[in-house]
Structure 1
């Protein structure tokens, strides 16, 4: 998503080369050499086995949140390794140069920097003096944080500290989101205001109002206001939201949720069967017509809450015929736990297949065209394409599906997934439901504690009441049937929480989501105030070592450094590097691979098309044409929490559906 945004800044907004060959106006920084290399080749029209496309997304964790493994060498040794030339009388920051480090020059010099948030957080968290070099960039830059509400609640205090630093430097801050909760907006205003007033003090100025703006694609709602304090900001923000919600109510509904729930009261196999039947019914309702073959087709998504069932659903229907009369089923299994080259191929395919802009049609895609022709030859009149996916599809994916099915998670998750239904067909109106939801979570089916967690808003401190037993008690299904839009996250309900010991219990999902944010960001208990992470009892120590420690400013604290990769250069060996280990393990004896399935014809991809070996060979050919011969170390992936060989776990792998530890 970061690379895609950078391309759009350069190509669509014109931040390309500066006049007179001064250099780039826009730099893009992400972690992961493979991601960047694949993206560059895709833009050059040199695909690694996928159909031609223009988009590539950076590696993400299972919950669909952006992440990059930052190269620590970027910040090592300010003295010695880097030679800084800085003329204090020259325009800043163009004349700060580090001759031996082009990456650092990009970070410091260009007017526009597009990067993952991980490139900025070391300034707040690292206890190494070299990370202070980021202060040069922060001091001279306004900051835009995209999809601010996609970060976990536990990460928000660290991001509030970032907002404080922006204000502390007298710069501007913009939060971008279609589903911004009020508590998040208020907390970021307060953090920024505190930092900005400190900056004013350093300039010899008195504290005063701050100019704030609210922006929407509805031009009539755009407003600017001089805001004196927290109460005034809250009042202005509420007015803006009320006006926006009034406009949303006047618009035709584009996504509706079916109140007839998909039964999930038996085992996984029965759930997969019920989901397939719902896919058939939604297909019959929303299928499009191919003018060349006469075949009716649709492309829908089934979003599961975790990779286990994303993979399990696909595996079930690769082992069993769907037996839908007259309907040919094709499956795509899309989640984060694929080898990088395979995931890239899947993403490039989806990027082009699900692009319905400017009159583009899915049936123009070469692979789908081949499947449609095959349906005609076999006498099939319908083609049903199902993308079994994880929360990776919820954020940053410019995909346009015909319909969707979701495992219940949260209002935020439901709204984000709904945003991928008819995303490019903005003139379409849903007079009937085009989304369905399962009757309970798979965690609940398996009788696991906390039904809506990992991912989801429930935790050891915040949970739903046991009295909320049915989905109709947890979600407002009747209202969702009328329309699925951002009103559930933009506007707070009246919170009625029950506190039992150290746990807050809420009667429904909407109160849980908003109540958790209020408690984490706006608690009146001094020890739990988010602002205590920002200034604490001694504001003069705001940027010292005390506030760089992770316990004071946590961010991505659950990262797991375990690494997994398939080493083609070592005779095709699976390798694993465990947390805290220095020795790489060869783990072929712990890997169980499946290549053949009884119903492999129900896969959208042919086996040789999604083969890691064939994709790797094509990758090497692309590298060779560019004069690069070393591709040995670029395929290692950081694993999700719980992905390890502890307690006798084994790795189960397939090129078609990815891997899982079990």
Structure 2
């Protein structure tokens, strides 16, 4: 391609730019280059320029073609040197501008800045105590009995004592130097009374004082507002019995107003109080070493910002409305304060300017090396907060966008994906309305119709052509995150600097409360950051970020956020990430890991992929995330073919409630939300202003979709396997050998109906999937297939085990092989695959059944095509999703007989023998059954109707059944009933239709105080783990063929000491050699040699890199309280059978 490069660089940046570009192109002017270059070469040049960009760098690249035609490819550095088309101004004029257009839109922008800055000046006053200062100076490991923010709150309350109006309080702060001269002992009551105050009432504090008090006490951890006094006791039995009861007080949830919050602020254990603290002198934490409030510079800043508050009309008007309940103001002010605290805490003071032991210290670098003086820290955080609040409104326009929208607009010629063109056109026609009113969309295109690319095109169509597109795709699984990101890079021809992929990382937002019963495992008061006196130095992002270096230092945000991963994630236009990272925006109760997700939501639109595939216990957290997206002005698109009406309606309500507050912040009227519905048949855009209208429009769209689905050819038919005698008097435990023989017989029948013939040998071949709910059943069945199963003559089984409890290295290899092998777009390629070819050639049998025995990891997002499937029932959702993996790539195949078999019940029910567990929740984990919602039968024949089996598709999920009784007599009724109850959607069959809100919907009620605290996050945590989990690393000894398992954090700290951190007493290697040898008609398939795989990767890393490869990739996360067994072919499993 013909390339033209124009430089508007200044000073030394021009020299650096010339040095780089001169290696690629010839100059045709002092600041101009022209050449012919390949796309690969241009990408290399682009990366080099971005990597070496400075604040004075400004380079534009154009592609020239035809007659006088050119297009702007990209700009590196200062974009203000060029316009949107890349043209350079001929003349510049400067004039004073009080506010930019985006600042005018933020009605309360300055109010947020003032409050966050005042909070910053006050947030660490509690570090001036004798106890805290001694901790920093001695580098002690003992935890504080009360955290410094609780002491800071008490000091602030003493500062404004007697002020009952906002005017009086701000006047006191503006003239605090005079006040403390008149009242030199204003803080003396701190040492005598306050240390006994566990409950604090702020009812008499004015509204702005309450706001400041909340910012001060929550700047590290959100309050935990549990009313029971005994919660602060260390009675473990009390906690275990009463925790759920205390948290699930619906009346408390529905009536928890801001006034109630401030009337009873309780020092909860593991929030600001540590009952396990063994500090020798706890009273020292209530005694000031020096008065920080006498510092002249600090007093000057406090006076300055208090006077600004007094003179700011919008803030005073807001204060007159009473206690602040607007969650947008609360979230953004806390975000501003915490971001500034993280930024300035990372600043290393020059050695000569560091404080001495006689001064008040804010934090340290290491033992006996002090970093920031306390007044310096408070003033520095305040300045950072003021600066950050000033640039906050500009994030939506100033952060990098993907300006080239041509790949999204490109028309597809494949008829199967033609609906994407219609979706793009419809969305484009509503782009202006969506920008003003917000957008909530639903993409329900069927499996295999290209939803991933369609979603990106829809959001791009809604974006501004002049600026470009920014969006985030949030997915439930790590492997799908990587798969989706790579697919978009390939299909849209995007480089890795345009699309970042964030994988890894763990989220456990409820550990504050779950771990407080185990002092050694709960709050790490001995952690590195706490000992240094600054938790605000913790990293903002965990996990791997797959994105190249960018010219980050030229961006406004780069001056505030020092964390490199955080900057990369924020400054990349498109992001594909696991939802665990993004959901921290609403679920993070401690630390700053919510900062980057919150800023990402503020500056980019959101695509939620397969939201209904999360466990229903995770949906409250998902609703909170959608609400925050609306609250921060983003557009939201849901993508799934099996979304229930109540789930969609509930998420719409969450989004609309948030968007309404965003409109208020922008000083705009609450406009009807632009809503879009998309599938392969219809694409519709409507403006909706209430739930009832949304439900009507959604039902109209679903009715049309249902009609089209009924017209389609039947591609998936099901049958129900009869229940056999899995338990006898001789065999009281569940007999997997009976099940194995039943499944093999059924698999052979399915194989006979649907198989292919090898053109070379004429042997029959089929690939089937056997899905169980739990790993233990996968392993038990696999063992029975090898040892106790009768295989028909002339039949060969090839089995591979696939589940999540496997080393990352081996699981990734297996998934890559399955992705390649089960791509059936070209059916003839299957017989060329080496894994198929070898299996056929090494056996004389005529019938070959290749069987993937798996858990629910196969259900969602895997681009696999099977010939048939056998399923243990868990829910209608999982059945429909897994059915989508049958003939996924072969749209012309029609089912003339069943190609899916379903067990007569699930294993948990079958283990109950005769009554099959009726009156017990068996269809759960996974599934929707619970003590509240019990099925009246556990037999599949009673739970799934014959009509649904005739044609398995998404209709049962997307159409709510019309019933007028309370009995739960089917899986699909159970799922719809649970969704209606979860999102408080009133129906004629729900028990309570009068309640205003529930534990889910209370989060976005504007008159409640749930934005102030983490109560709802504790009650409905995201991906709650019943047991603590640890990361382990497998290190293999090739000489004695010994597997060694170590705790990951210890193995990485001592990589060469293989005896440190051993956990072989929890994880044991188990040989299956004798088991596998018992039946020659059953052969393992797709097995990988662990050490051979390590050596292959080490070849690219360099000599002797095997250990580093294992430290990085031979990882697994397991429950720490279970005894595990391991084999490379079968993964990790509990001991339920004798090998």
Look up the SS of the partner of 2:862 in the other structure.
Answer: coil
Which of 475, 491, 498 in structure 2 is aligned with 1:12?
491
User: In the superposition, relative to structure 1, how do residues 385 and 629 fare at CA in structure 2: closer, same or farther (>3 Å)?
Assistant: closer
Task: Please tell me whether residue 301 in structure 1 is matched to residue 769 in structure 2.
Answer: yes
Could you tell me how far apart the structure 2 residues matched to 1:497 and 1:528 are? Answer: 23
Task: Please tell me whether residue 178 in structure 1 is matched to residue 608 in structure 2.
Answer: no
Where does residue 361 of structure 1 map in the other structure?
A: 829
Q: In 1, are the aligned partners of 2:589 and 2:1014 still within 8 Å (CA)?
A: no
1:377-418 Cα distance to aligned partner (Å, 9 max, x none): x3x212111111111110011100001111111110110110
User: In the superposition, relative to structure 1, how do residues 564 and 230 fare at CA in structure 2: closer, same or farther (>3 Å)?
Assistant: same
User: In the superposition, relative to structure 1, how do residues 93 and 288 fare at CA in structure 2: closer, same or farther (>3 Å)?
Assistant: farther
Q: Which moved more, 1:451-460 or 1:522-531?
A: 522-531
TM normalised by structure 1 equals 0.81
Where does residue 480 of structure 1 map in the other structure?
A: 948
Q: In 1, are the aligned partners of 2:505 and 2:581 still within 8 Å (CA)?
A: no
Deviation at 1:469, TM superposition (A): 4.9
Q: Which moved more, 1:94-103 or 1:343-352?
A: 94-103
Where does residue 30 of structure 1 map in the other structure?
A: 503
User: In the superposition, relative to structure 1, how do residues 415 and 80 fare at CA in structure 2: closer, same or farther (>3 Å)?
Assistant: closer
Q: In 2, are the aligned partners of 1:93 and 1:109 still within 8 Å (CA)?
A: no
1:173-228 Cα distance to aligned partner (Å, 9 max, x none): 0000010000110001100000111111112222231110000022xx11011112
Which of 881, 886, 889 in structure 2 is aligned with 1:421?
886
Could you tell me how far apart the structure 2 residues matched to 1:299 and 1:262 are? Answer: 25
Deviation at 1:615, TM superposition (A): 2.6
What does residue range 35-50 of structure 1 map to in structure 2 within 5 Å? none
Look up the SS of the partner of 2:1109 in the other structure.
Answer: coil
Deviation at 1:110, TM superposition (A): 1.0
Could you tell me how far apart the structure 2 residues matched to 1:656 and 1:632 are? Answer: 17
Q: In 2, are the aligned partners of 1:533 and 1:553 still within 8 Å (CA)?
A: no
Which of 574, 591, 611 in structure 1 is aligned with 2:1068?
591
User: In the superposition, relative to structure 1, how do residues 584 and 198 fare at CA in structure 2: closer, same or farther (>3 Å)?
Assistant: same
Deviation at 1:97, TM superposition (A): 2.4
User: In the superposition, relative to structure 1, how do residues 627 and 312 fare at CA in structure 2: closer, same or farther (>3 Å)?
Assistant: closer
Long gaps (5+) in structure 1: 18-23, 34-71, 83-89, 499-504
Larger RCO (CA under 8 A, 6+ residues apart): 1
Where does residue 977 of structure 2 map in the other structure?
A: 515
Where does residue 269 of structure 1 map in the other structure?
A: 737
Q: In 2, are the aligned partners of 1:165 and 1:195 still within 8 Å (CA)?
A: yes
User: In the superposition, relative to structure 1, how do residues 275 and 196 fare at CA in structure 2: closer, same or farther (>3 Å)?
Assistant: same
Could you tell me how far apart the structure 2 residues matched to 1:421 and 1:270 are? Answer: 26
User: In the superposition, relative to structure 1, how do residues 520 and 32 fare at CA in structure 2: closer, same or farther (>3 Å)?
Assistant: closer
Q: In 2, are the aligned partners of 1:144 and 1:174 still within 8 Å (CA)?
A: yes
Which of 614, 618, 621 in structure 2 is aligned with 1:155?
618
Task: Please tell me whether residue 450 in structure 1 is matched to residue 450 in structure 2.
Answer: no
Task: Please tell me whether residue 228 in structure 1 is matched to residue 699 in structure 2.
Answer: no
What does residue range 534-613 of structure 1 map to in structure 2 within 5 Å? 534-535=1004-1005, 537-538=1007-1008, 542=1011, 544=1012, 546-547=1013-1014, 550-551=1017-1018, 554-558=1021-1025, 560-568=1028-1036, 572-575=1042-1045, 584-588=1061-1065, 591=1068, 593-596=1070-1073, 597-599=1076-1078, 601=1080, 605=1084, 609-613=1087-1091
User: In the superposition, relative to structure 1, how do residues 260 and 361 fare at CA in structure 2: closer, same or farther (>3 Å)?
Assistant: same
Where does residue 122 of structure 1 map in the other structure?
A: 584
1:125-149 Cα distance to aligned partner (Å, 9 max, x none): 2234523243221111110000010
Could you tell me how far apart the structure 2 residues matched to 1:576 and 1:79 are? Answer: 28
Where does residue 240 of structure 1 map in the other structure?
A: 701
Q: In 2, are the aligned partners of 1:264 and 1:439 still within 8 Å (CA)?
A: no
Which of 706, 717, 734 in structure 2 is aligned with 1:256?
717
Q: In 2, are the aligned partners of 1:262 and 1:437 still within 8 Å (CA)?
A: no
Look up the SS of the partner of 2:842 in the other structure.
Answer: helix
Q: Which moved more, 1:122-131 or 1:429-438?
A: 122-131
Could you tell me how far apart the structure 1 residues matched to 2:1029 and 2:552 are? Answer: 41
Could you tell me how far apart the structure 2 residues matched to 1:530 and 1:28 are? Answer: 30
Look up the SS of the partner of 2:676 in the other structure.
Answer: strand
What does residue range 454-473 of structure 1 map to in structure 2 within 5 Å? 454-465=925-936, 468-473=937-942
Where does residue 384 of structure 2 map in the other structure?
A: none
Could you tell me how far apart the structure 2 residues matched to 1:116 and 1:590 are? Answer: 28
Deviation at 1:577, TM superposition (A): 5.1
Q: In 2, are the aligned partners of 1:191 and 1:534 still within 8 Å (CA)?
A: yes
Could you tell me how far apart the structure 2 residues matched to 1:334 and 1:324 are? Answer: 25
Where does residue 812 of structure 2 map in the other structure?
A: 344
Could you tell me how far apart the structure 2 residues matched to 1:441 and 1:279 are? Answer: 18
Where does residue 759 of structure 2 map in the other structure?
A: 291
Task: Please tell me whether residue 146 in structure 1 is matched to residue 619 in structure 2.
Answer: no
Look up the SS of the partner of 1:357 in the other structure.
Answer: coil
Deviation at 1:588, TM superposition (A): 4.7
Look up the SS of the partner of 1:522 in the other structure.
Answer: coil
Could you tell me how far apart the structure 1 residues matched to 2:950 and 2:849 are? Answer: 27
Where does residue 209 of structure 1 map in the other structure?
A: 672
Could you tell me how far apart the structure 1 residues matched to 2:500 and 2:555 are? Answer: 13
Deviation at 1:527, TM superposition (A): 6.0
Which of 862, 874, 880 in structure 2 is aligned with 1:397?
862
How many residue pairs are counted as aligned between the two chains? Answer: 584
User: In the superposition, relative to structure 1, how do residues 321 and 188 fare at CA in structure 2: closer, same or farther (>3 Å)?
Assistant: closer
What does residue range 496-507 of structure 1 map to in structure 2 within 5 Å? 498=966, 506-507=968-969
User: In the superposition, relative to structure 1, how do residues 10 and 360 fare at CA in structure 2: closer, same or farther (>3 Å)?
Assistant: farther
Q: In 2, are the aligned partners of 1:644 and 1:661 still within 8 Å (CA)?
A: no
Deviation at 1:585, TM superposition (A): 4.6
Deviation at 1:562, TM superposition (A): 3.0
1:3-46 Cα distance to aligned partner (Å, 9 max, x none): 010011111022326xxxxxx1111100169xxxxxxxxxxxxx
Where does residue 1102 of structure 2 map in the other structure?
A: 624
Task: Please tell me whether residue 435 in structure 1 is matched to residue 890 in structure 2.
Answer: no
What does residue range 57-96 of structure 1 map to in structure 2 within 5 Å? 95-96=556-557
Q: In 2, are the aligned partners of 1:562 and 1:576 still within 8 Å (CA)?
A: no
Task: Please tell me whether residue 382 in structure 1 is matched to residue 860 in structure 2.
Answer: no
1:568-610 Cα distance to aligned partner (Å, 9 max, x none): 379845436599xx99453258625123022475565469x53
Deviation at 1:313, TM superposition (A): 1.5
Q: Which moved more, 1:406-415 or 1:565-574?
A: 565-574
Q: In 1, are the aligned partners of 2:1045 and 2:1067 still within 8 Å (CA)?
A: no
Q: In 1, are the aligned partners of 2:764 and 2:847 still within 8 Å (CA)?
A: yes
Q: In 2, are the aligned partners of 1:300 and 1:387 still within 8 Å (CA)?
A: yes
Could you tell me how far apart the structure 2 residues matched to 1:553 and 1:412 are? Answer: 22
Long gaps (5+) in structure 2: 1-479, 507-526, 541-550, 728-734, 986-992, 1054-1059
Look up the SS of the partner of 1:324 in the other structure.
Answer: coil
Could you tell me how far apart the structure 2 residues matched to 1:120 and 1:94 are? Answer: 22
Q: In 1, are the aligned partners of 2:499 and 2:573 still within 8 Å (CA)?
A: yes
Which of 1104, 1107, 1127 in structure 2 is aligned with 1:654?
1127
Q: In 2, are the aligned partners of 1:533 and 1:552 still within 8 Å (CA)?
A: no
Could you tell me how far apart the structure 2 residues matched to 1:529 and 1:80 are? Answer: 31
Could you tell me how far apart the structure 2 residues matched to 1:175 and 1:302 are? Answer: 29
Q: In 1, are the aligned partners of 2:1066 and 2:1124 still within 8 Å (CA)?
A: no
* Cα root mean square deviation, aligned: 3.2
Deviation at 1:293, TM superposition (A): 0.9
Could you tell me how far apart the structure 2 residues matched to 1:417 and 1:347 are? Answer: 17
Could you tell me how far apart the structure 2 residues matched to 1:26 and 1:442 are? Answer: 43
Q: In 2, are the aligned partners of 1:385 and 1:604 still within 8 Å (CA)?
A: no
